[in-house]
Structures are given as structure tokens and as C-alpha cells.
Structure 1
């Protein structure tokens, strides 16, 4: 391009800026004057990017995009600083395609006069805007304030650093400026009207009057917005019922407690508090009374707080008490736990009703039991579980053994979920013998878990866990189906014995349970009267609609009902009579204590006779126990003396022996 010819066509200052190089590559005579340059060579050697502000770089990048996209033209006031001397200019910017195809910036500029309309409008805008605009030198001394800023900071000494309520906010602002050339921040500021929240935008620039490096700050008052945020935050972080901090407040409270531990050498513990049997309060007295009780418990816990303590309601009847202490803290936490138990256990009177609840407490210490909130909460939760397991209405400190046991339980739960899919469960059978002649007349189906690493796992180690993780229904269906299938095979082989299967409350509450039993019976070819379902005494106390419906359908199919572990629960004889049970199994604990508790055992058996059901005594392990039961005229006996639970092949071998062996010989085989 013929720049010489171009320069003859304009009378104003003219120069071409190379975006990529960050340098002026051509200028006419007036352009050299504007930039205070003797020659083009000297001007083109200046690196304009070295002290260019972030905002100017961003603006030039936008010019480049607009030139390429839509051949735009801009006319603006700019100030350049050749040799540090400010030159206010009226500049017309347009795009210029270079010989290599790249886009450059063509600038037409002339010295701006203050009387020009754009300058007047800009000055008037600075006067009337409510945005506070201030200019400071790099030392933080005020160089200029528009009227809004002057009003806000009247009476202050013009030092930028002293405007900040918290020195750390000023330091943070300067650090951000040094890193990026600009900064955005919300901070508390000293103003003529007191402390206010300001949203600030700061950037490095040059003073248009002196050309010296400066800091330009624009800010708006956002105090009302901050107040609204604080109100919203308070609502979000506060439990609506009790007024205590809620679960969302845990993280900030934990941070404050950790700060106290670091700065003031204070440790803390968390006490996980759960109200024992609180559900019964809601069920018997209603949720309104339950809510009143929770509010009273919250007030009592709050009264036990010392400086530095916090109480949080996690939800339901669960609370968390953050307790600060110095040293080991055992003494304070022991006393505090005792005080909490004593305070919460005091009866509550509401509308002429009196109710008392007791708390269980699990305690974990920071940092001994966990250095973060999740681990500390887990420790306190495990300790709470231990406190409940010890009889409730007490407290327990976390120990590493609890976590190990929890991890073992978690691993076992993971294995259980895999075990069903991989067919690791199997059913063993324990014989039930007719008491008068020791002939096997029934079998109890008992599940076993053949773990690939642990070997054969007895049900006592996994049934409760199956209940917890929701696997008991699937496991129950497997046992029922396998037991009935096996019973069908034995019947075809000529052995007609009844089959008893234990069922859980979760199964009995399933509306589809009776239908599943009907399907299993049909698939095996077995009849209802050949199946006996064993329920614990406590299951009979459940009178819910699904339970009643299932029991009616099972009765209609002829399925027999048995009470397992009779004598250990809280029997309601009217309810048991209403259910018309077919069989009662006397719990093994009575047999084990013979002959010392002979009178009690005989009384329990007598009560069972009143129900006109078959009586089975289980848990027989000695000849003496067997002889006593046979003399007392019970119907069936069961126990290790006659056989442990065994696989199907071994069980049928025993049936074959019993079928071909006279009673005397059979007794000799059994009793040795």
C-alpha cells in the first residue's frame, strides 16, 4: 500500500497500529507530532503493549473482531501517553488490510479541546452518575473523585487503604490488580454514612493529567442487597421449627470451630444426640405435641451452651452439639453429656399431658477422631449407634474399633448384594421329630451363605444386615421357593414331611406376599397345608391392613401359621387367639435353663396348650432335655441332639435311615 499517497489525502494525524506486534508501523507528520516522535523508525520501536492496561487490550481486541466481521468504524475520545505526557485525542478508528492479509488499525487523531460536545457530555455524565468513580495514585492517595464519590467519602483523608473496614480486603484488591491488572470485589467500606457494602471494580491506568500510573475505581453501594442476602441466608441456614441452625449451617460452623482450634488452641467435640423412641410420641400423641417437644428440647440444649458452643438440629429428632474445650476435654464432655441426659429427660407438660423422653449420645473429638466434617460426623454416628446398642439413655465415645466394625459391615453389605446375583446362598434343613417315637415329620428351612472367602456364613451374621439394606424380601423369596422345590422332590421320593420357613415383618407387610406364596406353591406342586410359615410373637402385634390381608389369603390357601420363639415377646393372647395359630415353638432359652427353671417352662407350655396348637420345643441339645420334653407330652422336638441344619442330600439320607430303622434302634443312633 502507498502510505505516502495516503498521507497526502489527510490533514490530521494518521498512524497504523499492528495488532499482532503491538507497535505503530507507519505515521504521517501530524501523527509523529501526536506521539512526540522525531522519526517513524524511533516510533515503530516503541512496545506499546508493555504498559497497556487490561481494559485497553480488551477494547482493541473487540475493534479487531468488528473490523473483520462488519468493517466497522469508531470515533471516540482517547488519551495517549507518549513519554508519560497525556494527550487527549478525538480519534477515528477503522480497519486496514495489510499486504500480507492481516488486519491493522488505522487511526485518524487530533488533539481534543475541552469545549467539544463529547467531552462535555462525558464530564456531565461523571457529575450526575450515582456510580462512585475515584482515581488514586499507586500509593493510594486520591487524585480525583466524581461528585458521588466525594459525597460518600467526605471527611475522610483520601487514603484508599483506610477506606476498607478490613485491611485484608484492601490487600486482596491490590494482589488481584498485580496479578491481572484489574479486580472485582465486594467489601465493607467506611463512608460518610457509616459502614457500607460496596461492589468495586478497579483497574490500573494512567492519570490523564500527569501521565503517572494510577488506579481507577468505580463502585456502587450494594448494602441493601447484602442485607437481603443475609436475611435469605439466615432463613436458609435456620431450622424453621426450633430456630436453631440447620444442616446447611454445619459447614460454616465447623470452619469457625476449626479456626478457634488453630488460633486460640481450643479443641472441640461433637455430640450426636438422638431422642429415644421419639416416633412413638408422634404416633401416640400426634405431631403437634411432637413438634412442641422438639422445641422444648432445643431450648434446653441451647441453655447448656457456653461461649464457643453451637447446637444444630439435623432433622427429625437428631441434634448436634459442638462443644469447645481446652486440653483433653474428657472432663467437660463427660459432664456435658450427663447434663444433657438429665435436662432432656425431665418430663414435658403440654395441654395437661406429660411426656418424658431420653437421649442417646455419640461423641467424637476433633482432631483425634477426624479432621474433616464427614469423618467426624461418621465417628459420632457410630458412637451413637453403640450408645443405643448399650440400652439407650446414655453416651458413648467413638473408638477406632467402631470404624473398623463399620467398614467390615459395609464390606459385608457389598458382598451380600453380589451374593444373590452369583447364587452364593443355599438352604439347609434341620429335622423336626415327633416326640413320642422320634420319627422325622418336618424340616425347618434355614438359609446359609457360602462366601467365596469366608466359607459358610450362618444367618446370625447377615440376616439383620439384609433387613437394613433391603435385601430380605429377595432373600425370603429365594428360601421359600427353594424349600418348596425341595419338599416336592422329597414327596416324589416317598417322604411326606411338612416344611417350615421363617418370614420377616418386611415380607408380611408386602401387599404381594401371599400371592408370591401361592405362585411358589403352584410351581413346586406342594399344597398349602404342607407349608408352615414361622412368625415371631412381635409380628402378631402388627394389625396393619397389608398384614391382615396377607394372613387371610394364607389361611384361605391352607398354609399353617407358627409362632416362633414363644415366651420371649410381649404376647397379646387375644390377638394370638384371633389369628388361630397352628403351631407354637417354645423358645430354646427355656430348655437351656432346665432344670432350674422347670416351673417357668412348664407354665409357658401350659399357656401354649390353651391355644390348642401343636407344641414344638426347640433347642434340645442333651438327652436329659429330650427326656423331660417327651415326659411333658409335647408334640415335636427339634435341636442339635437330633441333627444340625444340613444340606438336602444329607437330610434325605437321614430320612432313609429313619424310615427303615425301628424306634429303639433309632433312639440308640440318635442318643449314641
Structure 2
């Protein structure tokens, strides 16, 4: 039979015969304080004389009147509720060090707690306290700290059986997992803890554990010790809940490795994702196809419809790629409108690459609409294979990128697979780009000048400045080669500024030499999108004392229709300076006539593609000339190669002519000679070969 204390037996007898209270005198004579505590009500319902002394009570009635629950700390309340549950479910008995505070004065006691049924059937608590005032303060305080701390402290046998839990541990532990080993979600964590204890006598780890609140992450510190009761080898465990920290770390990791706009993996996560995929490919004897995807016309969506619409498009594209992607594949957003699709080619599905490529072409051909615009976005795709074209992600990306640019060059909305020819072409392009940067640094970019003549008398009335690159080894590099490269590399602004500055300065030099010409210079969209570009133009005019009406800036027809507010602001300010505005390549696109009139364009240059077809397409050119006359602008015909076309243009009201009939683009010195004597003719062959030999000189 279980051992029952004297106080318990007397209390049971008193409970059975409450009217008689046999043995009450005996209870009052005990040196042990005995009282019954109603856990639900939070008050003492009975106590002997020693209990009254411990609680500093005048009498029992006064003690029973105290509502201790009102001033009870949350830790004590939780502990008492734990006791109550264990009394009911396990008939448990506890002996612990407690500090009571009768009338605010601390009173440390060694208390034995056991369950006690009240007459109404509720579970109360029988308390037997022994005065421990002789204990050293450190012992008293340590016992109190164990009661109130949020740190979970527990004692276990080496096998994992629980010997003791402080209130925080008791509240957190899930009673369904009685053994310490059962509390670990991953059994390897418990094994690791024991291994560390065996090796160094101490263990520290963060593990996922089962708790009363479900699965949580705990930081556990374990030390080897001995059970102070049995002397058996044991381990003492302290735990703190670090779930919020782990969740924050997981969120930070997710944010660091995922694109915030689309939710796809980002560039930072790519090496790890590729390593995982490559390891699987090696195990399966498969290869990986890397699809480098770039969206055609995405910039037009941002510029025309706004960045909000562009962001919505990117989210839509990400969603469509997810639908194509299988569990074996990885989709990454690199930056802007560039995506990677890493496809694991399983041997049992040999044609999957074509299927996926076709799906990407189809699903990413998207019409984007607004109230006034409709744009078609398509994908250009370059493909490189692992391990055929490289074994590391950077090499594969470079080669897939080369193939993607080949797809764009071939007309966009296409798929190209990398080959060695692309690599050689890219190396040549990079070498040329490096040379172009040096060319800008060392003054190799210079303007050549092509004359514009009066249709009436053939006199030279202006010069168009055209950028040329005088390479020290390659000679004259064609603009068709280096201008697209400069635009792609973001160098076109520097080239435009250099040509503008040199052309205006050259005009000033000619003026000092008695030659008064209008100088025209081409503008790029990048220049007009630069804040304060109009200030650059004004400063250049002032620096070289150039009358604004003697400078003409040429914009392509498509550029002139640009609706960007910054472009519009720069054009308005340039026009306000008195600088002439010309529309180049007119007839190759769609122009808003109302917009042309709004800005009061000074000159329209009919594109050489129309002029060169004369007289076969004379009806179309007549229509263009009629439109120009209605706008009352100067009309220039470009691409005049022979006298027949020149005569047709003169007879239909064209005011200025430009083309090889009157002179190819020439260096400044040759252009000056030509301006002094328009009868000079520079051989086109000599011009192309950079000899500039004038006939008859």
C-alpha cells in the first residue's frame, strides 16, 4: 500500500467525519504546518495552528477570508493548475521548495503537496510545510527562480525517463511523449545529443520537438549529472523556445533566395539550385537544358504603359512558367525581364525539351493592352546543355545568353541552341566593345560631315555630322557595327555628346574661315531621356558662340513619337532655345501629324528607302511631300544617288538634297574644301578606303 502521511490520515478522517474532527488537537500540536488549499478559489479552507503561524494569521476565519488568487503571479497559477491535473490523473505527490509571502514577508518552506477532495468533489491540495529558514539564501533563491523562470528545466535518466520538470517545462511538455527521446521530431537529434554528452559531457543543439502547443523549435543545453535522490547517472536539460527566431531565419532565407515580385527563385539561389539539379542528373545519367528567356518588347511596355503594368506582366509570366515547370525543373528570375528555366531531361522523355520550348513560346506570347495602346510581348530563348556546353552554371548562362541574342537577331520570338560559332562571335564583340571604350577615352570617335545642298542652285547650305570610329588597327569601323554595340553597352550617350561638341566647335572654326553653314546632329532616345540634356545643348552653344538657329538636331520618326515626359520636356526646352528640330527617316514609321504640328518641327527628311525607289513609287513620295508642305517645313530628300532622282525631287518642291551625288560623309578638312568648291568630287572608293583624294587636286 502507498505510504500516507499522518497529516493525510487525520485529514481523511476529518473529511469522513467533519462534525467530530477527531484528532484536531493532534493536528494543532504537529510541528509541521498543514493546510488545505482550494486551487479553484485560490484560498486556504483549513489549516492547523502551525499553518496559522506560518501564514501570520490571527485565526482560521481570517486566513480563510484571504483571496490569495488576486495577488498570485502567473507562474504560480500555472504551477498550481499543473498540480491539480496531476492530482486527478496520476494521484501525484510533489515535494518542493516554496517561498510564501504572508503579509508580504518571505517565508521559505519545504512543502509536500498531495491531492485532497473537497466535500463538493473538487480537487484541492493538501499542503504539509516544514520551516526552512535555516537554509542558505542561495538555496532559497534558486528554488524560487526555478518556479518562476520561463526557461524549461528538466532532469532525466540516461535512458530518457523524466525525473523532474520545473513549471515552465511541465507546461510545455506534451504528456503524450513521456520519454525524452520521443519528444524529438527527428530521432537523429536525440542521438546527436547523447553522442555529444558521451564525448564532452555537454551538448548544445537546436531541434524541433513535440510540445503541448504542437511542433516547436527549442534550443537545448544538456549536461551530464547525477540524480540527487538515487545517485544514478542523469542529464539535466535546459530549453528555450526559439521558434520565432527560426521562422524569422526561414523568412529571411526565403526573401534572400526568392524574387519579391514574382516569388520565383532569384539569382542568389541559382548556384545551389543548379548543384542540386546537377547531382540528380549525374545519378540518373541525364542532362540539364538551360533555357535563357528574355521578353521581347518588355521595355516598350514599361515606357508606354508604365512600370505597374510591367510588374503585372512579370508576375503573369512567372505564373505561366510555373505551370509549364515540373517538379524536376527550376525556374529563376535573373533580373528585369530575364528568366532561366532549368529543365532536367529524363531519358524516358527524350522529346521534352522541344515540348517545353514550344510551350514557352506559346504561353509567353502575351498581348498587353491599355486604353490607348496594344503591345505584343514574345520570348526569345537561348539554350545551353549540361554537361555538353559546360559544367558550371556561369559558363552555361554565358552560352545560353549568346544563343538568346542570336534568337533576337534572327527576328525574336525564336529558339536557338548554343554552338561554337556564337562563342567566337561573342568574343569578337567583347573585343570590339573593349576597343570602343578605349576609342571614347582616346578621342577615336570623330564626326564626318555629309553636305546638304540647295535644290535650287546646288550650293552647300549645311552639313550633317555623322559619328565615325577611327580604330588604330582596324581603320574606319562602320557605324552599322559600333552604333548598335554602343546602344547595347550604354555608351551611345557619350558618343552623342562627343559628336555634338565636336560638330558645333567645327562649325565655329568654319565660320572663322568664312564658311557659314547649318550643322545637324543626330540624337538618340537615351540622350533625350537624360535629365538636363537641354542644358548640355545650351552650354555647348554658349561655349562655341553658335547661333541656336544654326544647329539642327535630328530625331528619327519613331523617336519623335516617344511619349516619355522627360523626352517631351527636353524637346520643349531645346525648341525654346531656338534650335531647329528635324525629323529623320520620315516615311518609315507612323507619325502623329498633330504632334508634329504641336512642336513646330522645322525640317522633315524623307527617308532614302523611299527616295531610292523613285520614280516607281512617286505617288507615295508625292503624298509625303504634300503632307510636309501642309506643315510648312523644310523638305529634304535623302539618298540622292543620280541626277534623274534629283531632278524629280526638285520639280516636286523638295528644297534640299542629300546623298552620294553631292558628297559622301567626309572628314572635316575634306568637307571644308568641298564647301569652298562644290564642284569637287571625292571618289567614293577613296572615301571608303580613307584616302580622301579629290579629283583634279
Corresponding position of 1:28: none
Deviation at 1:169, TM superposition (A): 12
Q: State which of 226, 229, 233 in structure 1 corresponds to 2:253.
A: 233
Structural mapping, 1:633-648, within 5 Å: 633-648=653-668
Q: For the residues of structure 1 that align with 2:220 and 2:618, how far apart are their CA atoms? A: 88
In structure 2, the CA distance between the partners of 1:300 and 1:506, relative to structure 1 (3 Å rule), is: closer
Q: State which of 238, 243, 256 in structure 2 corresponds to 1:224.
A: 243
Per-residue CA deviation, residues 106-128 of structure 1 (Å, 9 max, x unaligned), is xxxxxxxxxxx9xx99xx9xx99
Please tell me whether residue 588 in structure 1 is matched to residue 604 in structure 2: no
- Note the residue ranges of structure 1 that are not aligned, 5 or more in a row: 1-116, 137-141, 208-213, 662-668
Structural mapping, 1:306-325, within 5 Å: 306-314=326-334, 317-325=337-345
In structure 2, the CA distance between the partners of 1:292 and 1:558, relative to structure 1 (3 Å rule), is: closer
In structure 2, the CA distance between the partners of 1:484 and 1:368, relative to structure 1 (3 Å rule), is: same
Corresponding position of 2:527: 507
Q: For the residues of structure 1 that align with 2:335 and 2:507, how far apart are their CA atoms? A: 49
Corresponding position of 1:460: 480
In structure 2, the CA distance between the partners of 1:262 and 1:182, relative to structure 1 (3 Å rule), is: farther
Corresponding position of 2:362: 342
Task: Name which one, 1 or 2, has greater alpha-carbon Rg.
Answer: 2
Per-residue CA deviation, residues 224-263 of structure 1 (Å, 9 max, x unaligned), is 3645543553455444554444444333322221121122
Q: State which of 653, 658, 677 in structure 2 corresponds to 1:657.
A: 677
Q: For the residues of structure 1 that align with 2:633 and 2:459, how far apart are their CA atoms? A: 19
SS in 1 for 2:351: helix
Deviation at 1:443, TM superposition (A): 1.3
Per-residue CA deviation, residues 408-432 of structure 1 (Å, 9 max, x unaligned), is 3333333333333322222221122
CA contact (8 A) 1:347 1:356 kept: yes
Structural mapping, 1:66-77, within 5 Å: none
Q: State which of 268, 277, 294 in structure 1 corresponds to 2:288.
A: 268
In structure 2, the CA distance between the partners of 1:458 and 1:329, relative to structure 1 (3 Å rule), is: farther
Q: For the residues of structure 2 that align with 1:169 and 1:404, how far apart are their CA atoms? A: 58
Q: For the residues of structure 2 that align with 1:132 and 1:182, how far apart are their CA atoms? A: 15
In structure 2, the CA distance between the partners of 1:131 and 1:324, relative to structure 1 (3 Å rule), is: farther
SS in 1 for 2:291: strand
TM-score (ref. length: structure 1): 0.64
CA contact (8 A) 1:155 1:192 kept: no
CA contact (8 A) 2:674 2:680 kept: no
Q: For the residues of structure 2 that align with 1:315 and 1:464, how far apart are their CA atoms? A: 22
Deviation at 1:275, TM superposition (A): 4.0
In structure 2, the CA distance between the partners of 1:300 and 1:458, relative to structure 1 (3 Å rule), is: closer
Q: State which of 613, 632, 643 in structure 2 corresponds to 1:612.
A: 632
Corresponding position of 2:589: 569
Corresponding position of 1:521: 541
Q: For the residues of structure 2 that align with 1:633 and 1:348, how far apart are their CA atoms? A: 43
Q: For the residues of structure 1 that align with 2:322 and 2:160, how far apart are their CA atoms? A: 53
In structure 2, the CA distance between the partners of 1:348 and 1:518, relative to structure 1 (3 Å rule), is: closer
TM-score (ref. length: structure 2): 0.62
- Which deviates further from its counterpart, 219-228 or 605-614? 219-228
CA contact (8 A) 1:560 1:582 kept: yes
In structure 2, the CA distance between the partners of 1:265 and 1:520, relative to structure 1 (3 Å rule), is: same
CA contact (8 A) 1:272 1:380 kept: yes
Q: For the residues of structure 2 that align with 1:554 and 1:253, how far apart are their CA atoms? A: 52
CA contact (8 A) 1:642 1:670 kept: no
SS in 2 for 1:658: coil
Q: How many residues align?
A: 537
CA contact (8 A) 2:209 2:215 kept: yes
In structure 2, the CA distance between the partners of 1:627 and 1:170, relative to structure 1 (3 Å rule), is: farther
Q: For the residues of structure 2 that align with 1:467 and 1:551, how far apart are their CA atoms? A: 21
Q: For the residues of structure 2 that align with 1:171 and 1:265, how far apart are their CA atoms? A: 35
Q: For the residues of structure 2 that align with 1:612 and 1:354, how far apart are their CA atoms? A: 32
Please tell me whether residue 409 in structure 1 is matched to residue 429 in structure 2: yes
In structure 2, the CA distance between the partners of 1:283 and 1:601, relative to structure 1 (3 Å rule), is: closer
- Note the residue ranges of structure 2 that are not aligned, 5 or more in a row: 1-135, 227-232, 682-693
SS in 2 for 1:446: strand
In structure 2, the CA distance between the partners of 1:592 and 1:146, relative to structure 1 (3 Å rule), is: farther
Q: State which of 419, 428, 439 in structure 2 corresponds to 1:399.
A: 419
Corresponding position of 1:444: 464
Please tell me whether residue 370 in structure 1 is matched to residue 390 in structure 2: yes
Q: For the residues of structure 2 that align with 1:451 and 1:581, how far apart are their CA atoms? A: 36
Q: For the residues of structure 2 that align with 1:182 and 1:421, how far apart are their CA atoms? A: 65
Please tell me whether residue 491 in structure 1 is matched to residue 511 in structure 2: yes
Please tell me whether residue 560 in structure 1 is matched to residue 573 in structure 2: no
Please tell me whether residue 390 in structure 1 is matched to residue 406 in structure 2: no
Q: For the residues of structure 2 that align with 1:660 and 1:302, how far apart are their CA atoms? A: 67
CA contact (8 A) 1:196 1:221 kept: no
Please tell me whether residue 433 in structure 1 is matched to residue 453 in structure 2: yes
- Which deviates further from its counterpart, 279-288 or 640-649? 279-288
Q: For the residues of structure 1 that align with 2:486 and 2:646, how far apart are their CA atoms? A: 34
Q: For the residues of structure 2 that align with 1:262 and 1:202, how far apart are their CA atoms? A: 42
CA contact (8 A) 2:161 2:178 kept: no
CA contact (8 A) 1:185 1:201 kept: yes
Deviation at 1:572, TM superposition (A): 1.1
